[in-house]
Amino acid sequence: MSGRWQRWLPGILLVLAASLPFWFIQSQFTLAMFTLMFIWMALGMAWNLISGFGRQVSFGHSAFFGVGAYTTALLLIRLHVTPLLGIPAGGLLAGLLSLGYTVVFRLRGIYFSLATFALTLILQNLAVYFSGFTGGDVGLSMPLLGNAPAFLQFTNKLWYYYLVLGVAAVYFAVSAWFQGSPLGLFVRAVGDDQEAARAAGVRALGAKVRALALSAVLTGIVGGFYFVYVTFIDPASAFGYTVATQIAILPMAGGAGTLWGPVIGAAVLYPLQQELNVAFPNLPAEIGLMVYAVVVLLVIGADANGLYSLGVRVIRALRGRARPASPEADVRRQVS
C-alpha cells in the first residue's frame, strides 16, 4: 500500500462507517451490533498500548473497564451526577488503580498475565461482597430519563452509534500518536528486550507505568460509555472473565502491537460472534469465547502476528502475481 493511501485510509474508513446507517444498517439489532463493535474496538486499542506495543499481555483490563463503568453508574445513581462528568472521573480512577500494578510489573510473561487476571477477579468478588454500595449480583440500572442529552440519554439509538464511533476514531488517533511518540518507542524497546533498553538508558519501569496508566484511563472511559449505552452493569459484566478475556483476544487475533490489529480483530470477530448467537440461539453464552479461541488458533497457524499481518502477506502475494515479469527477471530466473 502506497504512503498516500496509508494516510487517507483512516479518513476513508471513518466516512464509510459514518455512512453505514444510511445504506447498510437497516435494523435495531444491526445498529446495536455495530455500536458495541466500536466499543470493543476502542477497548482493544486501549489494551494494545501496553499489551501490544509493550508486550505486557494483560488479562486484567476488565478491572479498569469495570471501575469506569461503576464510577459512572454510582455517581449518576447516588449523586445524580451527569455521565458527562462521571465518565472522565471513571477514567481517572482507573488510571489511579493502574498505579497499583507497579508490583505486578516485576513479573514477566505468563506470570504477569495471570497476576492481572487475578486482580480483576478480586475486584469482581469485592463488587459482589459490598452489595449495599454496588448492588451486588443484582447490579445497577441507569435511571431512564427519556431524551436527556445532558445525561447522554437518547431515544434515538443512532446517537450512541455516532458517539462511540467518535470515541473509536479518537482512540485510533491516540494509538497512532503513541506509536511514534518517545513513550511509545520506549515501551516497544522494553517489550522487545528490557535489558537492552535499560542498557540504552530507558527507564523501563517508568515507561511501562506511564503506558499502563494511559491505557487504563482510556479503558475506564470506555467502561463509562458502555454503562450509558447498555444502561446496566453488574460484577460479571464489569469485571468477569468473559470481559477480561475478550478485551485481550480481539486485538491479539487482529494483530497485537500493530496500529490496525485491534480494529481488524473487533471488526471481524465481534460481528461473527453476534451472528452465531442469532443463528444458534440455544448455544451457551460462552460460545463467543470458544469461537474466538478457534479463530485465534487458525490465525496463529496461518500467521503468528495476526489477521493484519496475514492480510498484508496476501495482498503482497496477489500484487506479485498481478505484476508482469520484466525481461531482466526472466533472465535471472533462467540463469539461476
242, three cell numbers: 468473559
Residue with cell 445524580: 80
Ramachandran class of 320: left when φ > 0, alpha when ψ lies in -120 to 50, beta otherwise: alpha
Q: Is 140 helix (H, G, I), strand (E, B) or coil?
A: strand
Whether residue 129 is contained in a domain is answered as yes
Predicted model pTM = 0.91
95 within some domain:
yes
User: Is residue 141 within a helix (H) or strand (E), and if so which, with residue range?
Assistant: strand 140-141
**Angstrom distance (rounded) from CA 214 to CA 208:** 10
Q: Is residue 267 part of a domain?
A: no
Residue 93 lies in a domain: yes
| Total domains in the fold of the chain | 1
Range of the structural domain that residue 101 is part of = 10-241
The rounded distance, in Å, linking the Cα atoms of 50 and 38 is: 20
pLDDT value for 317? 79
Is 329 inside a domain boundary?
Answer: no
Which residues are within 8 A (CB) of 188 and not within 5 positions of it... i.e. 6 or more apart? 53, 54, 257
Residues in the chain with pLDDT values less than 70: 1-5, 283-289, 292, 304, 321-336
**68 lies in some domain:** yes
Buried b (16+ CB within 10 A) or exposed e, 253-281: bbbbbbbbbbbbbbbbbbeebbeeeeeee
pLDDT score recorded for residue 285: 62
Per-residue pLDDT, 3: 56
- Considering the domain boundaries, does residue 60 fall inside one? yes
Contact 64, 265 (CB under 8 A): no
CA 169 to mean position of chain CA atoms: 12
Taking residue 21's Cβ as centre, other Cβ atoms within 10 Å add up to 16
Q: What is the pLDDT of residue 330?
A: 45
Q: How far apart are CA 120 and CA 97, in angstroms?
A: 11
Within a domain: 222: yes
Q: List residues bridging with 148 in a β-sheet.
A: 153
- The C-alpha atoms of residue 223 and residue 40 are separated, in whole angstroms, by 10
